[in-house]
Structure 1
Amino acid sequence: MPLKQQSILIIGGGTWGCSTALQLARHGYQNVTVFDQSPIPSPIAAGNDVNKILEEGSPSDADSPEQYVWNRMHQLATTAWKTDPIYREFYHPTGFVMAASQEAAQAEVTDAYERCKDDSKTRLLNKPEDFRATMPEGILTGDFPNWKGFFRETGAGWVFARGAIEAAHREASRLGVQFVVAPVESLVYSDGGDDVIGLKTVDGKMHLGNRLILCAGANSDQLLDFERQLRPTAWTLAHIQMTDEEIKLWKELPVLFNANRGFFIEPDAKGQLKFVDEHPGYCNFVRDPMTGVETSVPFAKHQIPVQSERNARQFLRETVPQIADRPFVFARICWDADTPDRQFLIDRHPRFKSLIVAVGGSGNGFMMMPAVGITVHHVLEGVLEDRLKYGFRWRPETAVGRDWRDTQHRFGGDGAVGDFQRVEKWTNIGNNL
């Protein structure tokens, strides 16, 4: 049977699942079904968010292999965010202020400046008044203690995340993709156990397919042994309500990002300002009683640790103290999965020839949404370019002896990966879960 007529089952209808479904449907695949535990967009999907940072990029033959992969994906994604009729309305190229106020984090900012200074209009920021001048008067009123960074006026901004997922879902549905609301309980294996032939949902139903694509984000390693390549890791975000006057003043602002403090992006359509406290992430460490191996198990919660609230408010006090003590109107933890090198894992499984995995967003997955759909499509057809194929390969050797408490070059908080099992107090916003 021709590939485009075969049954393709996609597990996970989040950022990567929807982009993959759309890409396949656009290229004539006639029998694509997406399974997710909730209607799209799922309330627990990392991409079900008001905004995500986007940086543009372009590859160069002078790049290192790792940097080529990163820049190539940026290039593919940027082209789509700028020109694709499904994605382009959601990109806001407002610019990007990147900074740090800790020495180790400042080294990362310097590296970022060196990479982009020739491709965009940039200027260095060394004093509080430099930072304040990046936005209209009256917004950045903080003292910016020890902040150093740069303003990338072009080649960066933010995307309306939820809108992009909903648009990809609508178009994929229009093109014939079926979306099934049913949690997946397990993969289904062939009699000899040498291939994956389908999946089983929690209602006990078996769904057989010729090809399966596993892109269930942080929950993916609940369905397949990734040999320690995936560490489910969560971050924290919150919203506060802005006034009508502030909403007008704060429109079309550049992203403000401090690598060890946090970031915010302009208020959303409801006038809510989302902000994030930067830290190396939280895990929910649980020890498997059978093997004794420590794992991280995702869970949903629309609250954040009180310590994260304190850190987020400190970020606001340094930048926009006039709103730093307002009550939160929303908060949640947001899960992703880290690979050991923070590079994506998008490959055909070495043992199960009918299974493709697309996982390991490592905190960078949403901005690459359109590029990931293209990449999975190319993996399925066996035409992925060699440098991407190598960079995204199945690579358990990188996880041998892996330290799951490695900060992976992330900063902020107390400088360590947090453990949800040790959180003593959570926020109580609207008495949500």
Structure 2
Amino acid sequence: MAHLRVSTKVIVVGGGGTMGSSTALHLIRSGYTPSNITVLDVYPIPSLQSAGHDLNKIMGIRLRNGPDLQLSLESLDMWKNDELFKPFFHNVGMIDCSSSEEGIENLRRKYQSLIEAGIGLEKTNVWLENEDEILARAPHFTREQIKGWKGLFSSDGGWLAAAKAINAIGEFLKGQGVNFGFGGAGSFKRPLFAADGTTCNGVETLDGKRYYADKVVLAAGAWSPTLVDLEDQCVSKAWVFAHIQLTSREAAEYKNVPVVYDAEYGFFFEPNEHGVIKVCDEFPGFSRFKQHQPYGAASPKMISVPRSHAKNTTDTYPDASEATIRKAIARFMPRFTDKVLFNRTMCWCTDTADANLLICEHPKWKNFILATGDSGHSFKLLPNIGKHVVELLEGSLSQNLADAWKWRPGGDALKSRRGAPPKDLADMSGWKHDAKL
């Protein structure tokens, strides 16, 4: 295998985002020759179109199934101990909270599952039964504000400086001598094939440039279903966030507070070094269905096509989101309800029906590898997910991961495992602000 690593050429499409940059990093760490690795993206690392191009993302342990738990624990270890990643993990803890009967019951089940996992998670997860116990972990709250709340505190949780972490990978890749193509020279048009018509041996980009390789990895996030036909396995959806600006005194009061998450309202993070707090609501997302023909589809069909904020800089989010973001602020930080909201933005991810990743070789095209289907939970896997993509390239991916991530058309990716299907942006007002000519 060592000889193959030295001689094998690999193209990573979407290498400016989470899964793509992680894959390129682990190709280097696995011994592939840097000059044989080509990273393509519409934008330089960190790609402005990537969901990972963000102020911060949540770090937490997921127990939904065996692969989720394995990947969560792997990534936590690397965020804590890997020299490249640990500067970007803010291990301030996380509080899952609720005051509704259903929400509290869901939290109790989550806490019980942590204990029953049998791997010592009861040492880092504490049930918060009353206001006193919540205030001990989150003194920025007022007693009146959290009346009736119960919570679950995880000392393993916190937040990740998202764009900064991807940028660190980009700087590393540049230093190693990896090849890059951006703009038209990095925008995927179609795969290239050998004489047999099914063995992929490269990629053509929108400017007509052709790159040749032994393996091609498509890791284009929410744009993946628009580039090649994924047979409805993935539906791309947008979530929203906004920022508020704190004064230096206010920011000092919120320094090192835990991430706070309530499934019925949303979540927020401590301010960054500039006193900016990101607030998100929680909802099933927005779709944007259009007639579109990805490569491999026999004819155009209805696909949820992301609209890039990087290319449409005047876009914000629907009017309805303004109300739900304000509702989250009133829930978590009522003293800031009069703060001006800025950087109102939609962030695109792509859901699978079962919320497992789609990481497999395309069944019709040999050597064309898919790495997508993040379902809104992949950023925390930035340190380790690329290792498993490389294992797939080399035929050594464990069977439990291969089974979870296999090609699996069908199912309801429109709803996925969320409470309801997304609303379509065509039915929502207020988000589209095209510049007037």
Q: Same fold (TM over 0.5)?
A: yes
Q: Is the 8 A contact 1:140 1:320 kept in 2?
A: no
Aligned alpha-carbon RMSD (Å): 2.5
Q: What is the aligned partner in structure 2 of residue 123 from structure 1? A: 126
Residue type at the aligned position of 1:16: M
Secondary structure at the counterpart of residue 2 of structure 1: helix
TM-score with structure 1 setting the length:
0.89
Which residue pairs with 1:27 in the alignment?
30
Alignment of 1:11-410 (within 5 A): 11-12=13-14, 13-30=16-33, 31-56=36-61, 67-117=65-115, 119=121, 120-128=123-131, 130-137=133-140, 139-140=141-142, 143-144=145-146, 147-152=149-154, 154-181=155-182, 182-287=186-291, 293-301=301-309, 302-396=315-409, 399=410, 402-406=411-415, 408-410=417-419
Asked if the contact 1:141–1:321 (Cα under 8 Å) also holds between the matched residues in 2, the reply is no
Residues 101 and 282 (structure 1 numbering): CA distance in 2 closer, same or farther, change over 3 Å? farther
Give 1:73 deviation, angstroms.
Answer: 0.6
Q: Deviations over 1:148-193 (max 9, x none)?
A: 43222x1211111111101111112212212211212222233432
Give the secondary structure class of the aligned counterpart of 1:174: helix
- Structure 1 counterpart of 2:426: 421
Alpha-carbon distance in 2 for matches of 1:354, 1:293: 26
Any gaps of 5 or more consecutive residues in structure 1?
58-62
Distance 1:232 1:424 in 2: 19
Secondary structure in 1 aligned to 2:197?
A: coil
Closer, same or farther: CA 404–356 of 1 in aligned 2, 3 Å: closer
Distance 1:405 1:142 in 2: 39
How far apart are residue 144 of structure 1 and its match? 4.1
SS of corresponding position for 2:307: coil
Work out the CA distance in 1 between the residues paired with 2:230 and 2:101: 35
Question: Is contact 2:97–2:262 with CA below 8 Å preserved after alignment?
Answer: yes
Render the CA deviation track for 1:237-258: whole Å, top value 9, x for unaligned. Answer: 1101011011111111111001
**Alignment CA distance shift 1:228-1:285 (3 Å):** same
Structure 1 residues 235 and 102: alpha-carbon distance in aligned structure 2, compared to 1, 3 A threshold: farther
Q: 1:348–1:404: structure 2 CA closer, same or farther, 3 Å change rule?
A: closer
5+ residue gaps in structure 2?
Answer: 310-314
Partner AA of 1:369 in structure 2: L
Distance 1:140 1:232 in 2: 38
For 1:320 and 1:427, locate their aligned partners in 2 and report how far apart those are by CA, in whole Å.
Answer: 28
Residues 222 and 124 of structure 1, relative CA distance in 2, 3 Å threshold: same
Contact 1:142–1:317 under 8 Å retained in 2: no
Separation (CA, whole Å) in 2 of partners of 1:39 and 1:196: 25
SS at match of 1:70: helix
- 1:140 Cα shift? 4.8
Offset, 1:376: 0.6
Tell whether the 8 Å contact from 1:128 to 1:144 is kept in structure 2 after alignment: yes
Q: Which letter maps to 2:252?
A: K
Write out per-residue CA displacement over residues 171-227 of structure 1, whole angstroms, 9 at most, x where no aligned residue. 122122122112122222334321222111111111111110010001011221111
The alignment partner of 2:379 has SS state of: coil
TM-score scaled by structure 2?
Answer: 0.88
2:235–2:414: 8 Å Cα contact kept in structure 1?
Answer: no
TM superposition shift of 1:287: 4.0
How has the CA–CA distance of structure 1 residues 264 and 196 changed in structure 2, closer, same or farther, with 3 Å as cutoff?
same
Aligned counterparts of 1:250 and 1:418: Cα–Cα separation in 2: 34
Distance in 1 of aligned mates of 2:216 and 2:417: 30
Letter in structure 2 aligned against 1:163: K
Equivalent residue letter for 1:95: G
How far apart, in 1, do the equivalents of 2:128 and 2:324 lie? Answer: 23
1:39 CA drift (Å) = 1.4
Q: Distance in 1 between matches of 2:135 and 2:329?
A: 14
Per-residue deviation at 1:409?
A: 2.9
Cα offset, 1:417, TM superposition: 1.5
Aligned residues: 414
Identity among equivalent pairs (%): 31
Gap change, CA 1:11 and 1:369, over 3 Å in 2: same
After superposition, what is the alpha-carbon deviation per residue over 1:331-382, rounded to whole angstroms, capped at 9, x for unaligned?
A: 2100111111001111122222211111011011101112211111111111
What is the match of residue 60 of structure 1?
A: none
Shift of residue 126 of structure 1? 4.8
Comparing 175-184 with 24-33, which one deviates more in the overlay?
175-184
1:280 and 1:407 in contact (8 A); partners too: no
In 2: Cα distance, 1:100 partner to 1:27 partner: 44
Distance in 1 separating the partners of 2:247 and 2:394 = 51
| 1:270 positional shift | 1.6
